[in-house]
Chain A
C-alpha cells in the first residue's frame, strides 16, 4: 500500500510540481528575451537550480536506504513537495516584472511541459513497482532539467516563431504602406519612452490623429504587434520608439517604419555591457539619423555630446538642437528659468526668436529636456507653439518616472525605471530642491554600465551621501560602491542601511518614515538582479 502510493501519489505531485516550477523559470526566460545564452548566464549567476525539492527527495532517499524506513517516507516527501508547489509565488501576478502569457510564451510552455510530462509518465510506466529508489532519483533529475526543456522547446519552435514573425512583419509593413503616416522615430539611451508619449499626445491634440504604441514597447516584434492591431486609416502621424539592442537593430525597425523625422534624446553609457564600447552605442543610435531621407527632420539633444555629434555628422535639410544649457553650442529651442513648484515646474522656452512661458506637472531636467524635444518636433511640423504649451501643461506624469505621490505628510518621488547617471543625478537634484524635512533615498544603484559601473556608482553614491539624511541600499550588486562612498564622504549624519530586497527596504522605510520626509525611490533593477529567488 505504502509503496504503491509512493509511486502513484509521488508521480502526481511531481507533475504538479514540474508544472508550477516551469512557470517560474519561464518568467525569467521571458525576461531574458528567450535568449539561450542570457538565460544560462542568469541561471549560473543566480544559482537558480532547484534546492528545496531536491533536498526533500534526497533526505527521503537517505532515510529509506540507510535506515530502511518504510516507503511511506516518500508519501511524506510528496506532501512536502505539494506544499512547496502550492505556496510558491504566482509568476503571473507577483514580483516586479511578471510573466506575461503571450502566445509565444504559451507555445514554449506547452511544448516544454508536454515533453516533460510524457517523459515523466514513461518513466513511471517502466519503473512502477520495480525500483523505488531509481524512480525517486530520476524525479530529482526531472526537476533539475526544467530549464533545459524550456530551452529545447524554444529551439524546436524557432522555425515556427521565425515564420510567424515574418508573416506578422509583412502584414505590419503592408499596413504602414497603406496608411502611410508621417513617421517620427525616437531613440536615445534614455528619455525615449517619455518623449514618445509626450510627442504623441501633443501631435494628436495639436495637429492630427497620431499613432503611438503605449508604454515602452520598442522592439521590432512589439512594434509589429501594435501596428497590426492598432494602426488605422486616418492616422497622419506615427511616433515610434526605437530601442537599440545592438548594432543593426534600429536599422531593422527603420525598415519596417521608415522615418521622415527623428529625435535623438541622448547617447549615453547605458547598456554598455550589451554594446561593448561607447563608440558602438553611438553607431547604433546613429542608425536612426542615417535612415532619414535627405529632406528629413533631425532633432537632437544639444546638451548631450553624442546627440550633438549625430546632428553634425548626419546633417539633414532641417536639423535642430534643443536643450537647457547652451554652453555646448547654439540651441534652436532652449528651456530656461526652470523653477520647481509643489505641482511640477514653471519654465520659459525660446523658439524662433520668441520667449514663451510654460508650466508642467513633470519634475526634473530630463523630463523638461524631453518636453523640449517634443516641443521642437511639434512646432517644426506646424503646430502652434501656444497650443503645444497648453498641451504640455496637461501632460500627466507617468507613474514611476519621477512621479510625486503624497500620503500622510510623506512625499514619495518614484523614479523606478532605467536609472542612469544623468537621470539619477537629476532625481537627486529634485530631491534636494523639494521642500521637506528629511531627504531619504532608496536605490540598488545603477546597472549595465560595463566597466564604468563601479566608478559611476561611487560617484553618485558620494553625492547622495552628502545630500541625503538616509540611504537604503538594496541588494549586493552595487553595495561596494556605496560602502566606498560612505568612507570618503564626511557627512556625520547620513545613515546608510544595506538591505537584501526591495520589500525589506520598503518595510524599513515604513518603520522610520515620518511627516515631512521626502523619499526618492530610484531603482531600475529587474527581478533578475534583485529579488531573492530561491527554488
Chain B
C-alpha cells in the first residue's frame, strides 16, 4: 500500500505560534506511519513557508532564522490540482531538485490568527485539497467570540452578557464607548472582563475594576485587535472543557476542569507552566494542571456540557476534533458557554485518553483524516459549473 502524503501545517503569524509548533511535533509523532507519510510545513513569524525533515527537531526552532537554510522554502498555490506544495527555493537540495512536493491531504495544526480562523482553510478550498478540522465558516465564526456567542445563544445555549466595542468607536469617543458598555444589561457592575474579540490566546485580556480601568483595558485590547468583547467578570468561577470528535455520529469526550489562576488563564498558565514547574520543555495544553473527568463534579453539569457541546458542534457545522469551553458561576450555579476552539491545543488528546471507550491520539488522527476525506468527496460530487455558461454561449 502506498503511503498517503499528509502535509502538517503549523506555526504562522499568530501569538500562539510556538504552541502550534509543539502541537504539530506531538501530532507528527503520533501519526500512523504504516498509512501516512508526514510532510511538516512550517510557517514562520513573517509568514514564509518551509518544508523539510529538519523541521521535526526542536533544535531547528531554537536556531532560527539561520536554520531555515536547512529546509526548502515552499508555497501552496491557490490553484486546483497543482499536485502539492510548490518549491520556491531549495538551496541545499533537501527535495532532490523536485519542483513539487506531492500532498494528498492537509492537517492544520495552527492556533489563532491566520491558521485557525478560516484563512488557511480558504486556501485549501481554493487549492482543492482535503483538510482536517472545521471548514471556513465554523473556523471563522469560532474565532470571533462575539459572533460565536450570538450564534449559539440563538439556539438556546446560555452565554454571558457581552458588549462589543469596535476600535473606530473608541477612537472617536472613548467616553461614549465606555458609557454604552456600562449601559448594556448585565454589564452595569464592575468588575468587567475585557478581551480581544478575535484572538484565541489569552493575550490582551484584562479585568476592569472601575471606569478608568475599563478604558485602559479597552485601549490595551486595541493594541492587538480591532474589536473588544466586554463581559461580566465572574470571580468565583469554574471552567469546564469538553472535546467533540467528528464521526457518524460525533462523540463527546470526558470533561476537564483546568486549574486556573484567580482571574482567568493567562498565556503563561496556558502554555508556559509545565504542571506547575517552570523548567523543562513545554508540552503545551497537555501539560497544564488539570482535573480530568472529576468524580466530584455534579452530573448535571457533565450532562449539560455534553449536550450543549454536541448541539453546538452540529449547528456550527464543525469538523475534526474541537474543544468547547464552558464556565460555571460558583455563586449562582449557572453554566455558560464560553468559547469554541476549532483546533484545540494538543488536539485535546489527553481528554480522549481518559474517555470510555478510549481513543488514542493515533486513532483521533486516523478518524479526522478519514472525515476530511469523506467531506472532500461529498463536496467533490457537487455540481459546481452550473450557471457558468451564459457568457460563453
Contact = CB atoms under 8 A, between A and B. Distances in A.
A198 interface: no
Interface stretch (B34-42, B78-86, B165-173, B185-193): B165-173
Interface string B175-204: 100100000000000000000000000000
B165 to A, nearest CB: 11
A432 interface: no
Interface in A54-69: none
Given A205-B223, A357-B212, A390 B218 contact: yes
A206 B222 CA distance: 8
B289 interface: no
Contacts of A393: 212-213, 215-216, 219
B174 interface: yes
Contact of A205 (B172, B178, B222): B222
A387 B216 contact: no
A220 interface: no
Contacts of B219: 205-206, 387, 390-391, 393-394
A313 B178 CA distance: 42
Contacts of B170: 384, 387
B172 to A, nearest CB: 7
A265 interface: no
A395 to B, nearest CB: 10
A422 to B, nearest CB: 29
B220 interface: yes
A394 B171 contact: no
Chain A at the B interface: SS class: helix
A205 B224 CA distance: 9
Contacts of A205: 219, 222-223
- The range of chain A's interface size is 10 to 19
A76 interface: no
A224 interface: no
A386 interface: yes
Contact of B215 (A204, A383, A390): A390
Contacts of A357: 212
A274 to B, nearest CB: 38
B171 A207 contact: yes
B212 A387 contact: no
A195 interface: no
B216 A394 contact: yes
A233 to B, nearest CB: 16
Contacts of B212: 357-359, 389-390, 393
A384 B216 contact: no
A145 B178 CA distance: 68
A205 B170 CA distance: 10
Contacts of A389: 212, 215
Contacts of A386: 173-175, 178, 215
B307 to A, nearest CB: 41
Interface in B212-262: 212-213, 215-216, 218-220, 222-223
Interface of B: 170-175, 178, 212-213, 215-216, 218-220, 222-223
15 contacts: A357-B212, A359-B212, A383-B171, A384-B172, A386-B178, A386-B215, A387-B170, A387-B171, A390-B212, A390-B216, A390-B219, A393-B212, A394-B219, A394-B220, A394-B223
